[in-house]
């Protein structure tokens, strides 16, 4: 005797309702003398409730979509009006910072030179299930820079440092490491002004 399956998993609501309808159709074909066995399941009643609830959700989704479109359009108009009003307020304030702030306007900050970057902060090694691999993350100190990643197996983390990666993001995945060994890692930031100090080294055993 073969087993059956309904396959509700990973199906959309519409698909799940269709499955229920097929079962209800099969139930309706059962001879009258056996239908009393299906009474406790009340498939027809529960299917009708589910279909009605689904129709309510679809109506609400349509209404929400229309409301979002209306909200976005009215917000766009408000932004345009705010931009025009802000320009006139700035003109009346004659560019005086105090008067512009009193009128509710934010002031544009003068750009500050970046200079030499500080050492990346909060360097950490994330767990991984892959052999010979380590995932590092850290916090950047300046917006535009390149990060140099070094590693060593020296127990005191004093010698043997070698560059293993160069990235522009705040994370990297190192591969090809020796499994079962303890590694130390450190990161520095480099920009047009030079190289930062090295981050505080961190260590981890490589799987």
Residue 70 has pLDDT above 70, yes or no: yes
- Tell me, what's the pLDDT at 127? 85
- Tell me, what's the pLDDT at 76? 95
Local confidence band at 124 (pLDDT 50, 70, 90 cut-offs)? very high
- C-alpha–C-alpha distance, residues 62 and 69, integer Å: 11
Domains of the chain: 7-110 (no CATH), 121-205 (2.60.40.10)
- C-alpha–C-alpha distance, residues 164 and 149, integer Å: 6
Span 120-141, average pLDDT: 92
pLDDT digits (tens, 9 = 90+) for 7-62: 888 889 999 999 999 999 988 899 988 888 888 889 999 999 999 999 999 999 99
| Residue count (the chain) | 207
> By mean pLDDT, which of 85-94, 157-166, 192-201 is the weakest?
85-94
Using alpha carbons only, give the angle 35, 39, 45 rounded to the nearest 5 degrees. Answer: 115
- C-alpha–C-alpha distance, residues 156 and 186, integer Å: 13
Local confidence band at 112 (pLDDT 50, 70, 90 cut-offs)? low
> For residue 94, what is the enclosing H or E element?
none
Local confidence band at 108 (pLDDT 50, 70, 90 cut-offs)? confident
- Tell me, what's the pLDDT at 150? 97
Residue 111 has pLDDT above 90, yes or no: no
* Residue 204 backbone dihedrals phi, psi, to 5 degrees: -160, 150
| % of the chain beyond a pLDDT of 70 | 99
Residue 110 has pLDDT above 90, yes or no: no
> For residue 204, what is the enclosing H or E element?
strand 202-205
Pairing verdict, β 162-167 and 171-174 = unpaired
CB-based burial of residue 135 (10 Å sphere; 0-12 exposed, 13-18 middle, 19+ buried)? middle
> By mean pLDDT, which of 63-72, 86-95, 150-159, 193-202 is the weakest?
86-95
Two tokens, residue 32: 């009258």
């Amino acid at each position: 005797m073969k087993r059956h399956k309904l396959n509700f998993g990973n199906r959309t609501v519409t698909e799940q309702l269709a499955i229920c309808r097929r079962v209800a159709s099969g139930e309706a074909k059962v001879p009258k003398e056996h239908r009393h066995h299906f009474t406790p399941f009340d498939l027809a009643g529960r299917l009708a409730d589910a279909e009605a609830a689904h129709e309510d959700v679809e109506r609400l989704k349509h209404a929400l979509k229309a409301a979002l479109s209306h909200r976005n359009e009215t917000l766009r108009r408000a932004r345009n009006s705010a931009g025009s009003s802000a320009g006139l307020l700035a003109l009346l304030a004659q560019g005086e910072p105090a008067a512009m702030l009193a009128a509710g306007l934010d002031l544009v900050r003068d750009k500050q030179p970046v200079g030499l970057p500080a050492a990346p902060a909060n360097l950490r090694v994330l767990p991984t299930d892959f052999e010979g691999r380590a995932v590092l993350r850290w916090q950047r100190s300046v917006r535009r820079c390149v990060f140099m990643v070094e590693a060593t197996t020296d127990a005191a983390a004093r010698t043997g440092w070698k560059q293993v990666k160069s990235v522009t993001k705040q994370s990297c995945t190192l591969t090809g490491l020796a499994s079962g060994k303890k590694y130390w890692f450190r990161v520095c930031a480099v920009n047009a002004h030079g190289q930062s100090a090295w981050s505080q080294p961190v260590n981890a055993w490589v799987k």
